[in-house]
Amino acid sequence: MSLYLLIGRFMRRHWIAYASSGVMLAVIALLITWIPLQIGRVVDGLVANRLSGAALLQELAWVAAAGVVVYFLRVAWRLQLYAAAYRLGVELRAQLYQRLARQGPAFYQSQRTGNLMALATNDIDAVEMAAGEAVLAGFDGTLTLIVVMGMMSIGVDWRVALWVLLPFPFMALAFWWVARHVHEASRLSLERFGTLNDQVQETLSGVRTLRALGLQARSEAQFGQLAAGTAQASLNAQRWEAAYEPAVGFTLSAATALALGAGSWLVWQGELTVGQLTSFSLYLGQLIWPMFAAGWVLSLLERGKAAWSRLAPVLDMPLSVNDHGTVETVTPGSLELQGVRFAYPGQPRPALDGVSLRLESGRTLGLVGPTGAGKSTLLRLLLRHHAPQSGELHWNDVDLQDYTLGALRGAIAWVPQEAFLFSASVADNIALARTGASRAEVEHVARLAAVHDDIARLPQGYDTPVGERGVTLSGGQRQRVAIARALLADAPLLLLDDALSAVDTETEARILAHLRETRRGRTVVIVSHRLSAVADADETIVLRDGHVVEQGRPADLAAGHGWYARQWRYQQLQASLDAS
Ligand SMILES: Nc1ncnc2c1ncn2[C@@H]1O[C@H](COP(=O)(O)OP(=O)(O)OP(=O)(O)O)[C@@H](O)[C@H]1O
């Protein structure tokens, strides 16, 4: 969809606001073109000595009254129109947000966060300006031009009016040439702003790492360069926009010289009065606005088009995970994977290659293996963050694709490797899993996740704000708050992705014991590097390079000769050394 179609559809939906602004503008145009005519009549009356003092005052009072009406109408149309244009901004932002919320990891892998933020702010502002300011300035400018030219032709003299039009084709040509450059320069400026945003976002997220690596100076220099590049691109766009002005100035001077020359000649010939020539020169002054409006409108439209060309592909991008499933409730049952193969986009090697397994409802599966083996990927497939290229995943004999995303994800509680906390209180972060959860329920799950005592020691207990991304909590506390949140969801399937890595083995054992006590038919998948976390699982699978290489009860695997047994002995030895 082009920008013009977008604006056209928006105008149709908000036609009352646009039409009433148009009517007000038409009245303004008529009034301001009537004023020079009236002044011309007053001048002719004075020259011919026809006007008394009282009559003169009355005529001037009409002019003043018209000025006041014009002022109020101008305020009214602006308020009316901007209120409508802001609605377009709100609509586009809501649309973008909905789209972003429904996209999957594959989308975010191809997009930069800072740039998406720039789209939601700067680019939408530019589209909003095109739908508001540009449409009305365009309408106003065109209307004023038509009315002024009409008054010049009918009210004064059509021959002089024709002279005025002579330089206009040159102006149109210059505008067309400038507009092309404004488009390119605006696009570059918006892109650079997106990159700058991205740098800010990344620097703020990684500020501790940058400091620890002593990279502040390098990051500052990099930021300085980007900021300078962005400013340069903006300046370049402004420079091109400024190029409209000389074209307007030249056209206006040429039109004035031609029209006044022709007008003066007609006055000498006695075919035009001095008053008419006065009106005419006032009309010439009124042509300034339509000409500047043309430049201004073209600038706004080109900026809007440049922004829309960045925004539209993101809004139109197909969802990276389809949501065509129709089964709206998950009845817990066995989980079954058959020959699942999945490679990340652009990756030659599959992260999972022919994985098959079956997990009965209510049982606990341990998922272990060397780093990069595909453990997290398997969990992501269960959550349908990605779809496998081949093979099948079933839950209670229903293909995962057949569930609606809402139903599937509502039935799974997932604690990822990096627990994400929002900048809210500890209690609110836990309660996110279930709206309306009571404080007692929140405290109960916090106890199960062995984090209650830590929370009680915080300055405001459960009401302590955790800062952005939970920055004020330790890694282990963040993990346990996230586990508490998952337990509150009370979903039939719980996925723990190395979610206990930052807690000590004793606390880990307590949490796992609580999980067993309160499992009530819940199926659990525990991914862990520490084998102690899966020692009590009903079954454990060892993944390596995307393949299942060992499978069985943890005790049997530990007694074998494979990767599990080696790791188990190594970790037992390390634990006994730590204890001594
Ligand atoms: N978003 C991604 N894009 C491309 N490749 C990825 C992506 N995420 C993971 N991979 C690759 O897929 C493979 C499996 O990764 P995965 O995160 O599933 O391993 P893992 O067993 O969970 O590792 P770890 O124990 O280190 O967390 C690895 O080779 C990894 O490099």
Give the model's pLDDT for residue 104.
Answer: 77
* Torsion, Cα of 207, 213, 217, 222 (10° steps): -70
Give the model's pLDDT for residue 263.
Answer: 86
How would DSSP label each residue in 172-201?
A: HHHHHHHHHHHHHHHHHHHHHHHHHHHHHH
User: 359-417: per-residue pLDDT in tens?
Assistant: 999 999 999 999 999 999 999 999 998 889 999 999 998 999 999 988 998 899 999 88
CB 344 near ligand 1, within 6 Å: yes
- Which atom of ligand 1 lies nearest, measured to the CA of 543? 21
In the chain, the largest separation of any two C-alpha atoms, in whole Å, equals: 121
Domains recognised in the chain with CATH numbers: 3-316 (1.20.1560.10), 417-490 (3.40.50.300)
pLDDT band for position 495 (50/70/90)?
Answer: very high
Residues 183, 189: Cα–Cα separation, whole Å: 10
pLDDT band for position 308 (50/70/90)?
Answer: very high
Partners of 342 in the β-ladder: 352
Give the model's pLDDT for residue 339.
Answer: 93
Assign residue 520 a region (left: φ > 0; alpha: ψ between -120 and 50; beta: otherwise). left
Residue nearest to atom 2 of ligand 1 (CA): 344
Residue nearest to atom 25 of ligand 1 (CA): 371
Give the model's pLDDT for residue 342.
Answer: 94
Q: How many CA atoms lie within 13 A of 83 on its CB side?
A: 13
Predicted complex ipTM: 0.96
Take residue 558 and report the two structure tokens written for it.
């530990």
The enclosing H or E element of 359 equals: strand 352-359
- pLDDT above 80: residue 51: no
CB 351 near ligand 1, within 6 Å: yes
Residues 321, 323: Cα–Cα separation, whole Å: 7
- Tell me the CA end-to-end span of the chain in Å, nearest whole number: 70
pLDDT band for position 580 (50/70/90)?
Answer: low
User: 58-106: per-residue pLDDT in tens?
Assistant: 888 898 999 899 999 989 988 887 788 888 888 889 888 888 877 877 7
| pLDDT, average across residues 453-482 | 87
Residue 389 Cα to ligand 1 middle (Å): 16
Let me know: does 355 contact 340? Beta carbons within 8 Å: yes
Task: Give me the residue label for tokens 């973008």.
Answer: 96
- pLDDT above 80: residue 467: no
User: 165-193: per-residue pLDDT in tens?
Assistant: 888 889 889 988 998 898 899 999 999 99
Task: Give me the residue label for tokens 């966060």.
Answer: 113
CB 377 near ligand 1, within 6 Å: yes
Residue 166 Cα to ligand 1 middle (Å): 69
Give the model's pLDDT for residue 338.
Answer: 94
CB 528 near ligand 1, within 6 Å: no
Give the model's pLDDT for residue 153.
Answer: 84
Residue 378 Cα to ligand 1 middle (Å): 10
- pLDDT above 80: residue 229: yes
Give CA angle at 346 (345, 348), nearest 5°: 110
pLDDT band for position 579 (50/70/90)?
Answer: low
Residues 414, 385: Cα–Cα separation, whole Å: 12
Mean pLDDT of the chain: 88
Give the model's pLDDT for residue 213.
Answer: 84
pLDDT band for position 336 (50/70/90)?
Answer: very high
pLDDT band for position 547 (50/70/90)?
Answer: very high
- pLDDT above 80: residue 429: yes
Q: How many CA atoms lie within 13 A of 246 on its CB side?
A: 7
Task: Give me the residue label for tokens 């990051």.
Answer: 219
- Which atom of ligand 1 lies nearest, measured to the CA of 105? 1
Using DSSP, state whether 444 is helix, strand or coil.
helix
Give the model's pLDDT for residue 161.
Answer: 83
- Which atom of ligand 1 lies nearest, measured to the CA of 546? 14
